[in-house]
Amino acid sequence: MSESKSEHLLRRIVKAVLLLLLAAALIFIAGSESVKEWVDTWLYPRLYREYVEEYAARYRVEKNMVYAIIKAESGFCQTAVSPSGAIGLMQVLPETYLSDIREEIGLEASPSSVLFEAQENIHAGTYYFSKWYDYFGSAVEALAAYNAGFGNVQKWLADEALSTADGLIVEKIPFEETREYVKRVLAYKEKYDELYGREELPQKETISEDLCYEWAVKYGETYHIDPRFVMAIVKAESSFIPSSVSVSGAVGMMQIMRPTYETDIKANLGLEEEFEDLFDAEFNIKCGTYYLHWLDERLDGYEQLAAAYNGGIGNVRAWLADPAYSADGKTLIVENIPLDQTKRYVRKVMTFYEEYLARYPDISG
């Protein structure tokens, strides 16, 4: 029986489709790596490179971290608005921009609507991430603060069930949204590094621990403070970076505040150096060790000194007078300290102190 025209046309179409599929399979097999690379770079783009590179360099953030945050926050949609009102590429909240960001980046007169502009949004978001990265020294805590707020991260860090001396345990972050956000951004960052190469940022100048210990011994002897405790404070405060500046304006190796220097250190020691001289590493150790001595004359024990160094001597005295925080009026119950940041700080300092006791068993160095 002769083949009809429709059957003949169908047969030709089927043959053409099969040939196309075969050709596509051969092309894919022959150039699968190229296809994979194309798909990967499509899924992990580097849009707005000019702005990302400019502000990543300005605030000492890895470019791939900025791309990873943008991908997680908005999928590179410049006009994105979240249910909570966060705007643009890096999903910056208008109230956060107005209160915590715009003055710091020199845009005092700019309304929050500028966050719909790619340049301003990337500028604001990169600065805000860098602020928390510089404060915590860790991408995990910085991302958690970017998503859930600084206060929540401080509270979680103060909880031994959620953190260690090294920082937050990602899998135990209480907010599911924040937990998944941190994991997602870190996964994206890893993929960007794999595709485009990991960027090695210039490291901030640090002082060697052995040199710092020499100074700690020198001024510890002068002011009757265990140099290993001084080392614990330095590590907790600045990680041995003399140029450190905190979000509250404390500076240097032992993160000394201007009022503390002017009132409790400079005046008492009859110093001529200005506040800015605290960026000199040895001078900062001298002043910080003296301040520990000043606290030690008024308090009892290194846990109290650590608490006062972070939370203020007035608070420590009030806690010692309250049965909720001190059973005998002399011993501070660290786990009951009401300021989460100070509780976390005391735990961290005492952990570091134990490490330095083991490292430098001979106090003479």
Residue 28 belongs to a domain: no
What is the domain extent for residue 350? Answer: 209-359
Same domain for 271 and 341?
Answer: yes
Same domain for 102 and 225?
Answer: no
Residue 244 belongs to a domain: yes
One digit per residue, pLDDT tens: the chain, 365 residues?
345 666 666 667 777 677 667 656 655 555 555 655 666 778 999 999 999 999 999 999 999 999 999 999 999 999 999 999 999 999 999 999 999 999 999 988 899 999 999 999 999 999 999 999 988 889 999 999 999 999 999 999 989 899 988 899 999 999 999 999 999 999 999 999 999 999 887 777 899 999 999 999 999 999 999 999 999 999 999 999 999 888 778 999 999 999 999 999 999 999 999 999 999 999 999 999 999 999 999 999 999 999 999 999 999 999 999 999 999 999 999 999 999 889 989 999 999 999 999 999 976 54
Tokens read off for 186: 């870190």
pTM for the structure as a whole = 0.72
Same domain for 314 and 241?
Answer: yes
The SS3 of residue 62 is: coil
Structure confidence at residue 202 (pLDDT): 74
Residue 15 belongs to a domain: no
Residue 66 belongs to a domain: yes
Residue 19 belongs to a domain: no
Same domain for 319 and 267?
Answer: yes
Same domain for 95 and 161?
Answer: yes
Query: Counting Cβ atoms within 10 Å, is residue 347 exposed (0-12), middle (13-18) or buried (19+)?
Result: buried
Same domain for 131 and 246?
Answer: no
Same domain for 354 and 218?
Answer: yes
Same domain for 335 and 214?
Answer: yes
CA neighbours closer than 13 Å in the CB half-sphere of residue 142: 21
Residue 74 belongs to a domain: yes
* Number of structural domains the chain divides into: 2
Residue 203 belongs to a domain: no
Q: Look up the CATH number of the domain holding residue 100.
A: 1.10.530.10
Out of 62, 73, 120, 141, which one is annotated catalytic?
A: 73
Residue 4 belongs to a domain: no
Query: Distance between CA 185 and CA 202 in Å, rounded?
Result: 22
Structure confidence at residue 29 (pLDDT): 53
Same domain for 176 and 278?
Answer: no
- Name residue, tokens 């979680």: 156
Query: Distance between CA 333 and CA 182 in Å, rounded?
Result: 33
Structure confidence at residue 71 (pLDDT): 98
Residue 73 is a catalytic residue: yes
Boundary-marking domain end, from 196, 223, 251 = 196
